Amino acid sequence: MKQRPLIGVTTQTLHAIDGIPEALPASWVMNQRYIHAVMQAGGVPVMIPLIAEDPATLESLYQRLDGIVVPGGIDVDPAYYRRARTPELGRLDPARDTTEIVLARWALRDRKPFLGLCRGLQVLNVATGGSLWQDLEAERPESIKHDYFPTAGFARDHLAHPVEVAPDTRLAEALGRASSPVNSMHHQGIRELGFGLEPTAWAPDGLIEAAELGDRWAVGVQWHPEMFEPGAPAVGKLFAAFVDAARRDDESRLA
């Protein structure tokens, strides 16, 4: 019997989060919802430490994984997409930026399944040469409200707006529908699309809400499907499709 696939889930630096006391020890953390979503889909989750300063160890860990999940989190440093910082830019996590962008590029190179969620879509875009709006309200004033943050009193599963899904895409197949209401907890978004990425979902204001690479299993969505149960409109079979892709052996992925 084939073993359950090993799925790497990246972490974030504890002290990059607002309000964390400096006295706490240095730690890497991640929301448990991502871990449970991978488990529900049949994967075995492994939390990835942010060890970009030791690429040999990071790559040794990466080689043992069958798929990569990059979860939500704080802003990506605009230096990675050749832009100066704006005043609206939020907190940064340099170790996380470097680790995730490296992992994304390795996964795309090796055709290893990749799933990006919220920040994870932005990492996928930056890793392929794209750029981001650093703050939608300031830089894209025609945007609808996207920043329904829990810190402002909104539930993490608050359905903020619908997205329209492109047909004949991995996302459409996973969601099983042409449109879906989604939650929304971001103030950044895709500005210039990365090389090879295809947009696969849009918010009512035209902002790209999902993208994928057509020739391999690499999908990113701007919302947080981990907050919903499998089969809900915003998630469908997304995690199951990702884990199924990761279950394939290297030979079939590289064929």
Q: Which residues of 24-61 are buried (b: 16+ CB within 10 A; e: fewer)?
A: eeeebebbebbbebbeebebebbebebebeeeeebeeb
pLDDT > 90 in the chain, percent: 90
Query: Residue 250: which pLDDT band, with cuts at 50, 70 and 90?
Result: very low
Q: How far is CA 209 from CA 105, 111, 234, 239, in A?
A: 21, 22, 12, 17
In a domain, 229, yes or no: yes
HSE-CB of 148 using CA atoms within 13 angstroms: 18
Q: Kindly state whether residue 64 falls inside one of the protein's structural domains.
A: yes
Does residue 17 or residue 62 have the better pLDDT? 62
pLDDT category, 249, cuts 50, 70, 90?
A: low
Task: List Cα–Cα distances, 210 to 81, 120, 121, 124, in angstroms.
Answer: 19, 10, 7, 10
Question: What is the percent of the chain where pLDDT is above 70?
Answer: 96
Mean pLDDT of 14-19: 86
Provide the pLDDT for residue 255: 52
Confidence check: pLDDT of 66 > 50: yes
Residue 1 lies in a domain: no
pLDDT at 69 over 60: yes
Quote the mean pLDDT of the chain: 95
What is the average pLDDT across 74-98?
Answer: 95
Model confidence over 47-62: pLDDT tens digits?
A: 999 999 999 999 999 9
Three-state secondary structure string covering the chain: CCCCCEEEEECEEHHHCCCCCCCCCCCEECCHHHHHHHHHCCCEEEEECCCCCCHHHHHHHHHCCCEEEECCCCECCHHHHCCCCCCCCCCECHHHHHHHHHHHHHHHHHCCCEEEECHHHHHHHHHCCCEEECCHHHHCCCCCCCECCHHHCCCCCCCCEEEEECCCCHHHHHHCCCEEEECCECCCEEEECCCCEEEEEECCCCCEEEEEECCCCEEEECCCHHHCCCCCCCCCCHHHHHHHHHHCCHHHHCC
- Give tens-digit pLDDT for 142-162: 999 999 999 999 999 999 999
Which residues form the catalytic set?
118, 224, 226
Tokens for 92?
A: 């940064």
Q: Is residue 251 scored above 50 in pLDDT?
A: no
Task: State yes or no: pLDDT of 25 exceeds 60.
Answer: yes
- Cβ pair 144, 206 in contact under 8 A: no
Tens-place pLDDT, residues 190-245: 999 999 999 999 999 999 999 999 889 999 999 999 999 999 999 999 999 999 99
- Per the CB < 8 A criterion, the answer to whether 229 and 158 are in contact is no
For residue 180, is it left (φ>0), alpha (ψ between -120 and 50) or beta?
beta
* CATH number, domain with residue 182: 3.40.50.880
Provide the domain count of the chain.
Answer: 1
pLDDT band at 20; cut points 50, 70, 90: confident
Phi, psi of 253 (to 5 degrees): -70, -30
In this predicted structure, what is the pLDDT of residue 19?
81
111/98 Cα distance (integer angstroms): 20
Question: What pTM was estimated for this model as a whole?
Answer: 0.95
- Asked if pLDDT for residue 254 goes beyond 70, the answer is no
- Supply the pLDDT for residue 172: 97
Structural domain of 230: 6-253
